[in-house]
Amino acid sequence: MAHIAFIGLGNMGQPMVGNLVQAGHQVTGFDVAAALCDAAGQQGVTIAESTAAAVMDAEIVITMLPAGSHVMAVYGDALPAARPTSLFIDCSTIGVDKARAAHQLARAASMQSIDAPVSGGTSGAKAATLTFMCGGDDDAFRAAKDVLGAMGKRIIHCGPAGSGQAAKLCNNMILGVTMIATAEAFVLAEAIGLSHQALFDVASTSSGQSWSLTSCCPVPGPVPNSPANRNYAPSFAAALMLKDLRLAQEAAAAEQAATPLGAAAAQIYALYSAAGEGSTDFSGIINFLRGVRSAR
């Protein structure tokens, strides 16, 4: 079992540290929010007074932070304080360029590192069924695999440094675009008098099938567990979708890749968030397309 430092004990970090403790790892945690440190302490995590203090004796340092700027700041504090040859695993969703910069910082300090963003959300984090998309060299990936296995079900090596973030951004661009397309189809069906169930029955078994339709159906009824049945209480908040779509657009602009539907999806989710719906589930975009507010 490993001694792990875990920095960032928020919505995702909290259940992830719980699973690491359950698996028998020794976990030292830190978050700038004291209440979150207390909550992690109740799960068996030893709380440190700072990032530097948390990483001092750890073999593995895991970060689960809001954005690239936080990761760079935490790496700045952690790398000089960590044991030589520690393994750094960043599970935050950040831009590909920032992920590569974080790897460079780690390499300059003679540490191993991987980027390992996740999909599966807070429910996957609780159930230890997250998917980890990993970027980094083979040795670092091998060293990370066991500990990631305590928090997730699928652990995929996507390629060199930054490839995990690249996979995450491409996947979530597909998700954002297909959710909008699916919601548009339901709005059109309503306008022309086709029932939700009839569209679902056909599209879910035809070429219109997607995860957005069959797992996160934007209308209540056909998929009983989808957020639409709970007034769009968030499983994956629209603000997080917007963040990921913007990161995809930054990567596309940097590489001059044409992603016109990704760009449109980012703009649509930006409007939805600006309308005050950022904390609504991203499938609530259907109400925006209908021209009504989500009923929460």
Q: Give residues in contact with ligand NAD (CB under 6 A).
A: 7-13, 30-33, 36, 51, 64-66, 70, 73-74, 92-93, 118, 121-122, 236, 240, 243
Q: Kindly state the smallest distance separating residue 164's Cβ from ligand NAD, in Å.
A: 12
* Cβ at position 189, least distance to ligand NAD in Å: 29
**What's the min distance (Å) between Cβ of 65 and ligand NAD?**
5
The residue at minimum Cβ distance from ligand NAD is 10
Q: Select 85 or 123, whichever has its Cβ closest to ligand NAD.
A: 123
Q: How many other C-beta atoms are found inside a 10 Å radius of the C-beta of residue 69?
A: 11
Question: Around 176, how many Cα atoms within 13 Å sit in the side-chain half-sphere?
Answer: 32
Which residues, 6 or more positions from 99, have their beta carbon under 8 angstroms from its beta carbon? 68, 90, 115, 135, 161, 162, 164, 165
Catalytic residues: 168
Q: Which is nearer to ligand NAD, 120 or 136 (CB)?
A: 120
Judged by beta carbon, residue 51 or residue 163, the one nearer ligand NAD is 51
123-161 burial, b if ≥16 CB within 10 A, otherwise e?
ebbbebebbbbbbbbeebbebbeebbebbbeebebbbeb
What the block records as the tokens of 173 is 């661009």
Task: Give the nearest distance from C-beta 193 to ligand NAD in angstroms.
Answer: 36
Choice between 35 and 108, CB closer to ligand NAD: 35
